[in-house]
Structure 1
Amino acid sequence: MDSPVEVPYKSFIKIDRNSETAMYMQVTHQLINAIQRGYLPFGTKLPGTRALSQMLGVHRNTVVSVYDELFAQGWVDSRPNKGTFVLGKNEEKPTKIATVKTYNLKSYPESAGFSFKASNILDNPFEYSNCEYVFNDGVPDIRLTQIDQHSKIYSSILKRRAHHKILGHYNHDGSEFFKKNLSNYLNLSRGLTISKNNLLITRSTEMSIYIVSKLLLSEGDTVLVGALSYFSVNMIFQKAGVNIVSVPIDNEGIDVESVQEICKKQKIRMLYLTPHHHYPTTVTLSAQRRMELLNLAHEYGFIILEDDYDYDFHYDKSPILPLASADTEGMVIYIGSFGKSLAPGFRTGFMVAPENLMIEMRKYLGIIDRQGDVLMEHVLGEMIAEGEIHRYLKKSLKIYQERRDYFASLLDEHLGDFISFEKPSGGLAIWAEWKIPVNLMQISRDCSKKNLFIPKTLLYQNKNLTAMRLGYGSLTAEEMKNSIEILSKSVHMRS
C-alpha cells in the first residue's frame, strides 16, 4: 500500500495498560493477528516507528521493539531507506531441477574391497511394522506435541541477527544460555546443586553412556546392571569389552545386599541403574536403598551411573529425587534427556558430573559431535526461561495419567485372569507378568496378523519369568481398547 497511515490500525490494536503483558508484546500479537486475518496483506508497508507511536499513543521505543519482534518472528522485512513491509506467501512457483539421466554407468560396488571388523553386538535390536496398532516400551505421543509453537520459537531465534554468527562456528560445548537455564531447571526440579560447568549436552542418553564407556571403562572391568536391564545400554557395555554382572531386582529396586556381596569378592568399576522407574519393571528404588548404595559406592570406590530416563513422567506423588542430589563424594554420574515429551527433533540428552571429569568428557564430545545444535538448544533454553516447558508438562501429564488409568482398567478387564501387574506411579509403560504358561513370541505373531505389533524387545521369557513391558503413552483411548482386545483374543485362543 502506498499510504500505510490509511490502514485503520487503531481499529484492531487495543492496548490494555493494566495488563501484565508488556505493551510491545500486546501490539506485536495484534499485528500478527491482523496479518494472519488478511487485514495487512503481503507487501503492505507499515508506518514509520514515529508515526505509529503517535497513532497509538505509546513511546517510539515501544514500536521499535514491536518491529524488532515482528522481524525476528519472520512477519516483516526491513528494507534500508524504504521501510518495513509485511512478508507473506510467495506466489512464484519454484523452478524444478531437471532430472539428469545417466546411461551405461558402472554400478556402485556392493562390497568393500578391503577387510573390516563386523559387530554382532551392535546389530539393530529394534523392529518396525506397518500394523495399525503398536505397543512400544513407553514413549510419548508425538501427536500431543505443539510442533507449530516450537517451530515458531525456532524460527524466531534463527532470524535474530545476534545469533547469525554462531551458524559459522563449531561449538560442541553447546549453548551457554541453555546450559545456564537447564542447570537452574535441574536444581529446582531434581534437588541438584550444579552450575552450567557440571553439564554436558549430548544428542541422547545412548551418546552420554557411550562417552562414559570410552572415558571410564577399560576392557575387563566389571559393571553391575539389573538382572533385567536396558538392552541398548548393555550393548554399549558389551562393545567396551567389560564383564557385565547381573544383580537381582525386587519390588524395592536393585538388591543392595547382592551388590555388597559382589563388592566383597571382586573389584567393581561401575553400577548402572534406573532408580526412578527401573527399566523394564518400572519399580522405584526405595529411599533406604538409595542411601545404602551411596555409602557402598564411597566405601568400595565404584561409579554409580544413574539413568533418569523418565523423571518428568510422575502422577500420584512427588517424584523421588535422584541419587545425584544426595551425592557428596562425587561418585554419581547423572544422565537423562530433556524435552522427552516434545517431538524427537526438539529433545536432547544431558550428563551431570563433577567439573574436573566434565573437562575430559567435553574432549570426547568434541570428536563425535563437533558441531552440536546450538540453535535448538537456544529454543529449549527459551522454553525453560519463559516457563513454556512447565506449562506443557502440566498439560501432558494430565493426559498421560488418564491414559495410564484407562490402560490399567483395560488390562484388568480383558486379561486380569492371565497377568498380574502394579499400576506404576509414573512412566509411560506397565510391566505385566503372566500367571499361565504362554509362548510370547507366538502371541506376538498372532497379534501381528490382526494388525497389532508387539516388538520382541518388549518380551521377557525364560524358565523363571514370562513378562511384557507394554507402553501406553503413545496410544489414544480407542487405540488402547482395540489393541488390548486383539491381545486378549490371541491369549484366549492360545490358552
Structure 2
Amino acid sequence: MQILSALLAVAKSERQPVYLQIANQLMTLIKDGTLQPGYRLLSTRQLASSIKVHRRMVVQAYDELLAQGWLESHTGNGTFVANNLPAIRRQGPENQVKADSALKKAGFSFEKSQHLNRAVLKSGTRLHLDDGFPDPRLAPVEELSRAYRSQLLHGNPYIRLGYGDTKGAAWLRQELASHLNETRGLKITADNVLIVRGVIMGIHLVSTGLLKPGDHVAVDSPGWFGANMNFIRAGAHIAQIPVDEHGMIVDELEKLCQQQPVRLVYVTSHHHYPTTVALRADRRISLLKLAEKYGFIIFEDDYDYDFHYLSKPLLPVAGADKAGMVLYCGSFSKTISPAFRVGYLVGPEDAITHLALFRRIIDRQGDQMLENAIAELLQTGVVQRHLRKSVRVYKQRRDVFCDLLKTQLGDKVEFEIPDGGMAVWARFDPSIDIEKLAARALQKDLYFSDGSLLKRPGEGKDSIRLGFASSDLSELEESVGIIKDLL
C-alpha cells in the first residue's frame, strides 16, 4: 500500500479532475513497466485512504481504465492490470532521457528540402517597413464582425454550420464574379471562381493539379520565392526570365519557348514582385499570343491590384484572354488584412472544377462563415468604400515616405516612386551591408528585410522592399530616422 501511494500524487488545486489525475498516473505506471500485467491493485477503499481522496474518485479512475482496457476486474477477487497487455521492462533513467528527447527529435528519418528553408515573415516589432502589408487599423473590422455574427446566428443551422461546396461559398463566388467583372474587366460567372485561403494556396493547387515532374516553369527574376517553392516541390524546372522597368522581358520568354516546351509562366503583371513595375501593355499582348502559340498556362498573380495611385490601373491579362490560357489569382489579404485567409482563383470552368478536387484533399472547405461575411460586405459596398479610403491613405503615405527617403537617405538609396502597391523597391549603396543594417535596426525595434530572400543569382544584396502602407506618417518618419542614424 505504501509503495503505490508513494507513486501517486494528487493535486486538488489543479484544473484536471482528481479521478483523471489518478487514472493518468496509473496508466503511466503500466506503460513504463512499473505495474506489470496481472498486478493486483489496491481496493478502491484502500487506495482512497492511502492517498487521502474520496473513494468515489478512485472508483471513477478504475472505471475509466477498465473502459480503456488497461485494467480488468475479477468479480469477488479484485482489480488487476490487464493480462493481455504486453510485458514491459521497467524503464531506467536512460530510457526516460530517450523518451524526453523524442519530443525534440523524431525516431524516423525524413528528407529536409532546402528550397523550403526560408524565413517566415511575422509581425512583432513596434516599427516596420515590411514586405508591403496593409494597415489592419484601417480594416472594416466592426462591419466584418457584425456580418460574421449574423452568419453564425441566422438561417438554417444545418446548412450554415455544416459542409458546403468545395469550391467555396456560393454567395461569395457570385459576389466576387460581379466585383471582378466590374473592376477588372473580366466576363466570368460564379462557376469560374474557386475560393482559396490565399494566393499561395492557389499556386499550390495549380502546382499539384497541373504540373508534372520535369515540366518547365518560367518565372520573373527577381521573383517571389513563395511561388518558386511550390513549383520546385512539384518537380518542375525553374527558368528565370529577367525583369526590366517594363516588367517581364517577353522576348526572352519567347527564346526559351523556342528551345524547350514551357508548361506554365508565373507573372505578377500589375505590380511586379518585388520591383513594383507594371507589365507594359504591348508585353501583355505578346504574352497572351505566346501562350496561345506554345500552349503554356499563364498564372497571373494580382496580389494588390486595388492599390494604384497614378491613374486607372491596367486591366489584368486575364481580361483579354480569348483562348482560356490564364488562371487569375488574388486575395483579401492585402485588401483587408493577412489574418483573413480568403482568396480566389479564376479560370475556365473545367480547370476550376479539376482544381477543386485537389483543394478537397488538403482542405475540405474554407471558413464558410467568413466567406459569407465577406460576400455581405461586397454586396453592401463596405469593401468598395474601404478600398477607396485605403487608396487615399496609402497614396499619402507613399508620397511622405518617398520624400523622407529622398531628403534623409538620398545619398544612400536610389528608388523610383511606385505607381501603385504598398512598397518601394529601394537600391542601397553597394558599400552598405543591408544584412547588418537590418540586424541593428531590429535592436531599435524596427523591422525591414535583410535582402537575403530577394537576392538575384550572381548579384549582391543591395535591393530590398520597404513597405510603407502599414505605418502611419509619424511611424514612417521615425523609421527613416532610425535608418539615417544607423548609417
TM-score interval, smaller chain: 0.7 to 0.9
**Whole-angstrom CA distance in 2 between matches of 1:202 and 1:349:** 5
**Count of matched residue pairs:** 396
Once the two structures are superposed, residues 360-386 of structure 1 have per-residue CA deviations (whole angstroms, 9 ceiling, x without a partner) of 111111111113222211111111111
**Whole-angstrom CA distance in 2 between matches of 1:376 and 1:211:** 21
After the TM superposition, which of the residue ranges 450-459 and 323-332 deviates more from structure 2?
Answer: 450-459
Q: Indicate the residue corresponding to 1:471 in structure 2.
A: 467
User: Percent same amino acid among aligned pairs?
Assistant: 38
Q: Indicate the residue corresponding to 1:487 in structure 2.
A: 483
**Whole-angstrom CA distance in 2 between matches of 1:158 and 1:222:** 45
Q: Indicate the residue corresponding to 2:79 in structure 1.
A: none
Q: Indicate the residue corresponding to 2:134 in structure 1.
A: 140
After the TM superposition, which of the residue ranges 213-222 and 332-341 deviates more from structure 2?
Answer: 332-341
Once the two structures are superposed, residues 100-140 of structure 1 have per-residue CA deviations (whole angstroms, 9 ceiling, x without a partner) of 58586576732333333333322342255753222211000
Q: Indicate the residue corresponding to 2:220 in structure 1.
A: 226
Helix, strand or coil for the counterpart of 1:126? Answer: coil
Which runs of structure 2 are paired with 1:144-155 in the superposition (5 Å)? 144-155=138-149
Residues 113 and 279 of structure 1, relative CA distance in 2, 3 Å threshold:
same
Structure 2 letter corresponding to 1:487: I
Q: 2:217, 2:266 within 8 Å by CA — same for their partners in 1?
A: yes
Once the two structures are superposed, residues 318-368 of structure 1 have per-residue CA deviations (whole angstroms, 9 ceiling, x without a partner) of 111000000001111111113632233434111111111112111111111
Residues 212 and 428 of structure 1, relative CA distance in 2, 3 Å threshold:
same
Q: Indicate the residue corresponding to 1:98 in structure 2.
A: 15
TM-score between the two structures when normalised by the length of structure 1 = 0.76
Residues 129 and 375 of structure 1, relative CA distance in 2, 3 Å threshold:
closer
TM-score between the two structures when normalised by the length of structure 2 = 0.77
Q: Indicate the residue corresponding to 1:346 in structure 2.
A: 340
Which runs of structure 2 are paired with 1:113-124 in the superposition (5 Å)? 113-124=107-118
Q: 1:136, 1:458 within 8 Å by CA — same for their partners in 2?
A: no
Residues 124 and 97 of structure 1, relative CA distance in 2, 3 Å threshold:
farther
CA RMSD of aligned residues (A): 2.1
Q: 2:297, 2:327 within 8 Å by CA — same for their partners in 1?
A: yes
**Whole-angstrom CA distance in 2 between matches of 1:280 and 1:257:** 21
Q: Match for 1:365 among 353, 359, 362?
A: 359
Structure 1 letter corresponding to 2:15: A
Unaligned stretches of 5+ residues in structure 1: 1-95
Which runs of structure 2 are paired with 1:383-462 in the superposition (5 Å)? 383-456=377-450, 460-461=454-455
Q: 2:304, 2:335 within 8 Å by CA — same for their partners in 1?
A: no
Residues 146 and 289 of structure 1, relative CA distance in 2, 3 Å threshold:
same
Helix, strand or coil for the counterpart of 1:335? Answer: strand
After the TM superposition, which of the residue ranges 206-215 and 172-181 deviates more from structure 2?
Answer: 172-181
Q: 1:458, 1:469 within 8 Å by CA — same for their partners in 2?
A: no
Q: Match for 1:172 among 140, 163, 166?
A: 166
Which runs of structure 2 are paired with 1:4-403 in the superposition (5 Å)? 98-99=15-16, 109-110=102-103, 111-128=105-122, 130-162=124-156, 164-338=158-332, 340-403=334-397
Q: 2:151, 2:160 within 8 Å by CA — same for their partners in 1?
A: no
Q: Indicate the residue corresponding to 2:73 in structure 1.
A: none
**Whole-angstrom CA distance in 2 between matches of 1:467 and 1:150:** 37
Please report how far the alpha carbon of residue 164 of structure 1 lies from its aligned counterpart in structure 2 after TM superposition: 4.5
**Whole-angstrom CA distance in 2 between matches of 1:460 and 1:365:** 29
Structure 2 letter corresponding to 1:234: N
**Whole-angstrom CA distance in 2 between matches of 1:402 and 1:97:** 55
Unaligned stretches of 5+ residues in structure 2: 1-12, 33-98
**Whole-angstrom CA distance in 2 between matches of 1:217 and 1:461:** 26
Structure 2 letter corresponding to 1:313: F
After the TM superposition, which of the residue ranges 259-268 and 441-450 deviates more from structure 2?
Answer: 441-450
Q: Indicate the residue corresponding to 2:86 in structure 1.
A: none
Once the two structures are superposed, residues 453-487 of structure 1 have per-residue CA deviations (whole angstroms, 9 ceiling, x without a partner) of 22335764565452111011111111111111111
Q: Indicate the residue corresponding to 2:40 in structure 1.
A: none
* Greater radius of gyration (CA): 2
Once the two structures are superposed, residues 244-278 of structure 1 have per-residue CA deviations (whole angstroms, 9 ceiling, x without a partner) of 01111100000011111111111111110101000
Structure 2 letter corresponding to 1:477: L
Helix, strand or coil for the counterpart of 1:432? Answer: strand
Structure 2 letter corresponding to 1:302: F
Q: Indicate the residue corresponding to 2:78 in structure 1.
A: none
**Whole-angstrom CA distance in 1 between matches of 2:262 and 2:433:** 37
**Whole-angstrom CA distance in 2 between matches of 1:269 and 1:139:** 31
Helix, strand or coil for the counterpart of 2:266? Answer: strand
**Whole-angstrom CA distance in 2 between matches of 1:136 and 1:187:** 31
Once the two structures are superposed, residues 147-196 of structure 1 have per-residue CA deviations (whole angstroms, 9 ceiling, x without a partner) of 12210111112211235423122432221111111101000000000011
Residues 137 and 158 of structure 1, relative CA distance in 2, 3 Å threshold:
same
Residues 287 and 133 of structure 1, relative CA distance in 2, 3 Å threshold:
same
**Whole-angstrom CA distance in 2 between matches of 1:238 and 1:278:** 21
Structure 1 letter corresponding to 2:266: Y
Residues 365 and 412 of structure 1, relative CA distance in 2, 3 Å threshold:
same
Q: 2:332, 2:338 within 8 Å by CA — same for their partners in 1?
A: no
After the TM superposition, which of the residue ranges 433-442 and 326-335 deviates more from structure 2?
Answer: 433-442
Once the two structures are superposed, residues 41-100 of structure 1 have per-residue CA deviations (whole angstroms, 9 ceiling, x without a partner) of xxxxxxxxxxxxxxxxxxxxxxxxxxxxxxxxxxxxxxxxxxxxxxxxxxxxxxx99345
Residues 150 and 331 of structure 1, relative CA distance in 2, 3 Å threshold:
same
Q: 1:459, 1:468 within 8 Å by CA — same for their partners in 2?
A: no
Please report how far the alpha carbon of residue 450 of structure 1 lies from its aligned counterpart in structure 2 after TM superposition: 2.4
Q: 1:193, 1:325 within 8 Å by CA — same for their partners in 2?
A: yes
